[in-house]
Structure 1
Amino acid sequence: MKIFGGKRRLKSNSALAIAAGCAVAFMFIATVISIGIYQQRMDEAKELLVEAEYEQYDSYVIMISSNDSSDFWQEVYKSAKEYGSEQGVYVDMLSTSIDKSYSKAEYMEMAIESNCDAIFLEGDDSPETAEMVAKAKHADIPVFTLESDIDMANRVSYIGANSYTIASLYGETLAANLVKQKKVMVLAGNTVNPTEASAFVNNMQSALDGRELPNGNLDFEVRTVESKDAFANEEYIQNLFKENDLAPVVICLDQESTESFYQAMIDYNKVGQIMLLGSDVSPTILTGIKQGVILSTVYVDAQSIGVSAAEAYIEYRDAGYVSDYISVDANVIDATNIDEAMEEVENE
């Protein structure tokens, strides 16, 4: 019995040793792969800096947003790049230079590793972004936030519209068009900070305070899309319609949600039953306003943000200081000016 038991223990010990060896080997391989991927990212970042230096620009600035492919951020990038090039500043959006997709924090890490001269960043309230911004400050790389802000302690300047002004524009549209609606759904896609969505509602309530609305004070409900998957916004909105979990008034706080909600209204035959207010400008959104499916959209001029960001960096570079807040106007497009807006887009 002892011999039998001893043999069993020997096999068990051997199995444990093999398992432990496999685990160590796996961890080693995973570490090597991780280091390799990290090094690849760093090499790509350094290559971008070399490219900028080769073009003989005075400064190299990297722009990072949560949705680089959107019409809005492409216009911000284009205007900043064009203005910057005239002033010896090379503005780069990493996602347009690298084939593989990375997270916002990873792009920040690459920007810092490249030792760029500044970072143009769409702010958010995530711990990862806060950590990277602090790291950039420690590396003496100034960060300028665009459209959405972060903690003032670690950025140089914020370029964007006043949040209360934006809420007031929505409030004016609602006050002029409400009949008996009382419930308002505020829909924030996965590129919008939940904190910003809540702040938007607070500003809306302040903007509407004292106004005589047809059915009294409005009831606001914030819905946020948490998943960062590629089609998360569209799937979330589809589920709202499938479950008829809707409101008579819907305000979408980003371009993708506006476009998806507009299309769902058509697909589910809800046109005329929901008052939809959108955000940003795109051919799809303008078409929706022209058709009368979207009541209006509020947008911040992307070109102004891009140019103002480049100007702010140049002033900071040359003078050593710049205003910590640079205001950009917000505007409304609705049935009264849709033809003019569509004509401007066609002529661009």
Structure 2
Amino acid sequence: MKALLVRLSSMGDLIHTLPAVSDLARVRPDVELHWLCEEGFADIARLHPFVRKVHILSWRRWRKELAKRATWQAIGRLKSSLRQERFDFVLDSQGLLKSALPARMAGVPVKGLDKRSAREGLAAFFYTQTFFVQKGQDAVLRNRLLFAQAFAYEMPSEMSFGALVPENIRLSNPNHPYCVVLHATSRDSKLWRQGNWRELMTKLHESGGYTVYLPWGNAQELARAQELADGLPYVRVCEKMNLLQAAALLDGAQCVAGVDTGLLHLANALDKPLVGIYTDTDPQKTGVQQSAKARNIGGVGQMPETEEVYRLLLECMAAQQTGCQGEEK
């Protein structure tokens, strides 16, 4: 069986789909799975070894240039390449009009959420077969339940993201051991106080001798990272990185602390000890998948204290160490 998964964006949405791909790999290894996603997030799809091929949709760029002939030629080339793959069916796990329409480009039956389950009920009218998945559930669980119905298997009891950073994507000489602080997020209301970050980074360095790395994505985030690092010789501002390089940085970290951002979910997918810090969003809806080594703290209108975040980080790192020792035995 050959199938195309449509999950276009955003980073968190793609990451929350990885456990469903892991289920499929475990229960239906006979399936050849391809993935159609936005070009800016293609590296997330490439992190799962079960994904045979990633197809790129450039809608965010194309919609700004719809009057240009080159845009329609590019859309035509994508349609032709998808049809040449001769998929058995397409699964649209996003449930939006912007995903349902590209899903039909492959020219084969399309499966997806029914009108009661999809984020945009109208999307269901473009599907050949639909499935009910209760709204209000965790995004990871919703994806897993949809996959189980679409590919006709019983959902495994254990969950795994299954993300692996390619061996050829490694950073040049990072200072080990190190931790990563994800200080940047999509809006200022979700930020943690700079004083809190500086206190936390100092505690991490003094307790474990850790170097602390600060990634960034734009000029404003770079300026904030430089302010956070000012006067702290054990804090390093990263160079500009792409998603795979960021994944490699996270993969090598002893622990990760971050606000509500896509890279925090990426660290979660890489099974790193981490604490998610929430100040203006509900971690029940947007938090990481919690475990002994991954915890959420805070919530709407809350500003977690440094000591509590630090204590949780130590607990998560201890859980990681205990797990590693168990595996060695």
TM norm structure 1: 0.32
Q: Larger radius of gyration, structure 1 or 2?
A: 1
Higher helix share: 1
Which structure has more RCO (C-alpha within 8 Å, separation ≥ 6)?
A: 1
